[in-house]
Structure 1
Amino acid sequence: MMNRRQILATAAAAVLIAPLAVQAQGFPNKPVKVIVPFAPGGTTDIIARIMGERITPALGQTMLVENKAGGGGIIGANELAKSVPDGYTLGMATVSTVAANPAINPKTPYNPLTDFVPVINIAATPNVIAVHPSFPARDYKTFLEVLKKSPGRYSYATSGTGGIGHLQMELYKSLSGVFITHIPYRGAGPALNDTVAGQVPVIFDNLPSALPFIKDGRLIPIVVAAPQRLAVLPNVPTFKEIGLEPVNRMAFYGFVAPKGTPRDVVDKLGAAVRKTLEEPAVKKRIEETGSVIVANTPEQFAAQIKAEFEVYKKVVEVQKLALD
């Protein structure tokens, strides 16, 4: 038999658990907020807003997108980690926030493997190195020659220090033997604006946010990180083709919730996303950005996050990368 102390402890635990259980049963009964940890205009923002605009019929509630930029995605991701785990606050997880940045930044205030509950990986996208039309190269061979001829003369823009663009470009630099200076921004949107304006000559970006500028001729694509050549950029080689397979990694964008979010709430959210992604109009919009729809399970997404984190941790160790 339980003593009085055990009975009181059990009762207290039940009181704490009960509100989440009730919320799970009636979930969702108010709008769901999604924290995008980068400025508007980047791929993370684009994917989040496509979902936010189209998920209401499947979810039964509106989905509001809120941008919290800074720290290469750390500020927004940390806010999510500290949110109430009731399913009403989600975050967009990217390779930058749950792998690259935690791998290079020992002061990251959250653990990417334990402080979030993966919900669903929405899409994966190729990455691209692109240049301003004034840059003296239009193809990879000439690009490499220009950089090797003038080490330190050129700079490249990314969505932030410690992000996937930063670490992938640093890996590229170490493998190719070039030197080019990093200029970090508070998201892909601002980085693209300055590159398109000619203030920075080179950018490492996710393809969906860079593609409209490439199509308009305001950026010239040089090389892509993708499993094979892309239909939208048939003349642009992959990193694997140029002999740099370790750099040939795609980015991902998925929903994660704070640690402790009930599994049935996670399942409801995942089911709503999956149903939305089945809509031809949504599928078309995402695929038109150059992305591939993933729509996997929480367990599969957790395995992807762990694998990417380990890859970038090794990159940081082997290349002896550190924050400035």
Structure 2
Amino acid sequence: MTSFQHLTRRQWAQWAGATALPSLAGLPGLAAAQKASYPHKAIRMVIPFTPGGSADILGRAIGHELTTAWGQSVVPENVAGAGGSIGADRVAKAAADGYTLLMGHVGTLAVTPTLYPKLPYDPIKSFTPLAWVARVPNVLVVHPSVPVNDLASFIAYAKARPGSVNYSSGGNGSAAHMTMAYLALQAGLNLQHVPYKGTAPAVNDLVAGQVQALFTGVPAVLAQIRSGQIKAIAVSSPQRIAALPNVPTVAETGLPGLSGFEADQWYGVVGPAQMPIDVVDKINAQINASLKSSAILERLQSEGAQPMPSTPKVFADLIAKDLQRWRKVIVDSKMSL
């Protein structure tokens, strides 16, 4: 055993340094092991809308896949209100450790920030984009009494009746509202907006002939299109969709102002700002893998959605692009809540 009291100052320094090295050398390995262990506890998946909608269904489906893959529970938590901003703010203020995630939506991350200018979060600076999950095309539909069968005739019909053609939506600032406002802005139309408290009553009144048009997500109106209760005029996606192969896109009609038209809804997972890159990569890789599973593909198909595996940067670019797109629509349309 070493007798400390007889060591010279130099011998003491040499001995102390030699005994300290092993523990210091072990620290990087310990830190790496801690990082590699993600996730080592339950994860919250905040869904900023009420149960039952597409965001809720997709958030729970992705959460189930992550739970199965990682052996740690991904717990869904519905935090609805103010267009999704209440739930989004909760995630923005959470620890950036990967244990609080948000099932984001085009409305929450790209529309709401302009409609609600005093939001407590910034859609770019407050979040870390993790994975683009899916896109849901919108489809322009009209009541059978409206004497049009394509987009060109719908535009001509509306221009001949400025302020008289009305359309429904699930509410002010909803995807249906924004998409039709975008079409009206690009095509130079003066349409009358009739907001409802949800998509279902907006569809029901279109079927009943109380309103003339609606531009909403395909899943909400696919059954009514197939039964002939309403007519499909055009879809908002860059390409035609499998569910409605004979319905052209808005862009392919070649009408003035509409050549680059694209206005799909989208969903994706984000976390708080400044998350560790290794955690970001792990979440992204697993969600991309999950989007190939038969269970997720069946769920997406039932929702009329298309899987969109991609990198965090691609998703970040989408958020930034649509934030600018919808800001211009809102400002140019003089839209306010």
Give the TM-score normalised by the residue count of structure 2. 0.76
Taking the TM superposition and a 5 Å limit, the aligned residue runs for 1:253-264 are 253-264=267-278
Q: Is the 8 A contact 1:105 1:322 kept in 2?
A: no
Q: Does 1:161 align with 2:149?
A: no
Aligned to 2:188: 177
Once the two structures are superposed, residues 197-217 of structure 1 have per-residue CA deviations (whole angstroms, 9 ceiling, x without a partner) of 666543322224443443454
Q: Within the alignment, does 1:322 sit opposite 2:320 as a pair? A: no
Which residues of 2 match residues 1-324 of structure 1 at below 5 A? 24-132=35-143, 137=148, 139-184=150-195, 188=199, 191-192=202-203, 195=206, 200-242=211-253, 243=255, 244-287=258-301, 289-317=303-331, 319-324=332-337
**CA positional deviation for 1:307:** 1.9
User: Does the residue aligned with 1:286 lie in a helix, a strand or coil?
Assistant: helix
Comparing 274-283 and 26-35, the one that deviates more: 26-35
2:169 and 2:216 in contact (8 A); partners too: yes
Higher alpha-carbon deviation: 95-104 or 195-204: 195-204
Aligned amino acid, residue 291 of structure 2: L
Secondary structure in structure 1 of the residue aligned to 2:251: coil
Secondary structure of the equivalent of 2:284?
helix
For residues 150 and 44 of structure 2, the distance between their equivalents in structure 1, rounded to whole angstroms, comes to 42
1:279 maps to a residue whose letter is S
Tell me which amino acid in the other structure corresponds to 1:128: V
Go from structure 1 to structure 2 and tell me whether the alpha carbon gap of 1:263 and 1:197 turns closer, same or farther (over 3 Å shift). Answer: farther
Matched position secondary structure for 1:254 = strand
Structure 1 alignment gaps of length 5 or more: 1-19
What is the distance in 2 between the residues matched to 1:49 and 1:42? 11
* Rounded Cα–Cα distance in structure 1 between residues aligned with 2:86 and 2:206: 24
Which structure would you say has the larger RCO, counting Cα contacts within 8 Å and 6 or more residues apart? 1
Q: Which amino acid aligns with 2:101?
A: L
Deviation at 1:118, TM superposition (A): 0.6
How big is the alpha-carbon RMSD for the aligned residues of Structure 1 and Structure 2? Answer: 3.2
Higher mean C-alpha deviation, range 55-64 or range 207-216: 207-216
Of stretches 239-248 and 224-233 in structure 1, the one that deviates more from structure 2 is: 239-248
Q: CA deviation at 1:43?
A: 3.2
Further displaced range: 271-280 or 156-165: 156-165
How far 1:121 moved relative to its partner? 0.4
CA shift, 1:287, in A, is 4.1
Larger Rg: 2
Kindly state the Cα deviation for residue 261 of structure 1 after the two structures are TM-superposed. Answer: 3.1
Per-residue CA distance 1:197-238 (angstroms, 9 max, x = gap): 666543322224443443454543221111222232122221
CA 1:219–1:23 in 2, change beyond 3 Å: closer, same or farther? farther
Provide the C-alpha distance between the structure 1 equivalents of 2:157 and 2:125, rounded to a whole number of angstroms: 44
Unaligned runs of 5+ in 2: 1-30
Query: Given that residues 185 and 333 in structure 2 are in contact (C-alpha distance below 8 angstroms), is that contact kept between their aligned partners in structure 1?
Result: no
Once structures 1 and 2 are overlaid, which stretch shifts more, 98-107 or 284-293? 284-293
Q: Name the CA distance, whole Å, in 1 between partners of 2:52 and 2:202.
A: 10
Q: Report sequence identity in percent.
A: 39
For 2:277 and 2:229, locate their aligned partners in 1 and report how far apart those are by CA, in whole Å. 46
Q: 1:213 to 1:24 in 2, by over 3 A?
A: farther
Q: CA deviation at 1:141?
A: 4.5
Distance, in Å, in 2 between the alignment partners of 1:270 and 1:60 is: 17
CA 1:152–1:232 in 2, change beyond 3 Å: closer, same or farther?
same
Q: Is the 8 A contact 1:72 1:159 kept in 2?
A: no
Going from structure 1 to structure 2, the CA distance change for 1:32 and 1:223 (only over 3 Å counts) comes to same
- Partner Cα separation in structure 2 for residue 76 and residue 96 of structure 1: 13
Distance 1:320 1:190, change over 3 A: closer
Does the 8 Å contact 2:135/2:307 carry over to 1? yes
Matches of 2:172 and 2:293, distance apart in 1: 36
Cα offset, 1:26, TM superposition: 3.8
Task: Give the Å deviation of 1:116.
Answer: 0.6
Identify the residue that residue 6 of structure 1 maps to in structure 2.
none
Q: TM-score, normalised by structure 1?
A: 0.78
Query: Per the alignment, do residues 30 and 134 of structure 1 end up closer, same or farther by CA in structure 2, a change over 3 Å counting?
Result: farther
